[in-house]
Amino acid sequence: MAETQAQHMVLAVSTVVFSLRPHPDTGELTLWLPLVRRIRRPFKGHWALPGGPLENSQDLAAAAKDAVRLSTGLQPRHLEQLYAFGDVDRSPHAPERVISIVYWALVRQDEDAQAVDAENVDWYPVEEIPGPLAFDHDLIVRYAVDRLRAKVTYSPIAHAFLPGEFSLAELRRVYEAVLNRALDPSNFRRQILSQGTVEDTGRRATGTAHRPPRMYRSAPQSSRYALTIEENNDPVRA
């Protein structure tokens, strides 16, 4: 059975990598992601998600992390499995059937500034993807954005975009960029503080043109699950 499989299937791992950068026109913070221009068939010349075939000795998450590192030189601060895509007809012009296990990742805003893009890699705002992408990657990107937007509302993943210390206004701007809508500063403050997901460092920012804000750090999680270093919600052994 394994032999039959082997000749006609490839198992690949890809990653949708999110970062926050100002929009070139409006200057507003928005979601960006890196794409890789394909240099071979099928879909030669189209843009695609970073990824590649799964190596035999690699865990799935490790392969997803490698996709980030190899395309951008960055280390993801949050990594989580999105979905496995494996319809028989999803790679129409490919020699083999491709099953893709897709992850999504967040990178820190300050680290993103030092991104070293590999050959044929470019970043795009999620609303301005140079489509159609290769394979079913348009669908995957849309799904990943939906998941990120949903998850940010009930989980403290937004912290993963920020450095170790941040003001609540910075955190709010992250939420606003992800959700693409303005949030009330005072209510946002109360909600975040009541969650207990951040703690006051006692320090304040300096050099602002106005009242200096308190700086916070993200608090150690008190989930009933043991969390992995990426703070994802994968099923874990107790």
Partner DNA sequence: ACAAAAGTGTTATGCATACACCCATGC
Partner DNA sequence: GCATGGGTGTATGCATAACACTTTTGT
Binding residues for DNA, rule: CB under 7 A, are 167-169, 184-187, 189-191, 194, 204, 206, 208-214
Of residues 22, 28, 96, 196, which one binds its own copies by CB under 8 A?
96
- Give CA–CA dist 166/184, Å, rounded: 18
Tokens of 212: 């200096």
Of residues 40, 60, 196, 227, which one binds its own copies by CB under 8 A?
60
Q: Tell me which of DNA, its own copies, none is bound by residue 6, counting a contact when its beta carbon lies within the kind-specific cut-off of 5 to 8 angstroms.
A: its own copies
Q: Tell me which of DNA, its own copies, none is bound by residue 127, counting a contact when its beta carbon lies within the kind-specific cut-off of 5 to 8 angstroms.
A: none
Q: Is 36 in the site for its own copies (CB under 8 A)?
A: no
Of residues 83, 123, 124, 188, which one binds its own copies by CB under 8 A?
83
Backbone angles phi, psi at 82, to 5 degrees: -100, -55
- Give CA–CA dist 179/31, Å, rounded: 10
**Residue 8 or 181 having the CB closest to its own copies:** 8
Contact 30, 23 (CB under 8 A): yes
Tokens of 67: 């996709």
What DSSP character marks residue 158? Answer: G
Residues 6 or more apart whose Cβ sits within 8 Å of residue 236: 225, 226, 227, 228
Give the number of residues in contact with its own copies, rule: CB under 8 A.
38
Residue 113 CB, nearest distance to its own copies (Å)? Answer: 31
Q: Tell me which of DNA, its own copies, none is bound by residue 191, counting a contact when its beta carbon lies within the kind-specific cut-off of 5 to 8 angstroms.
A: DNA
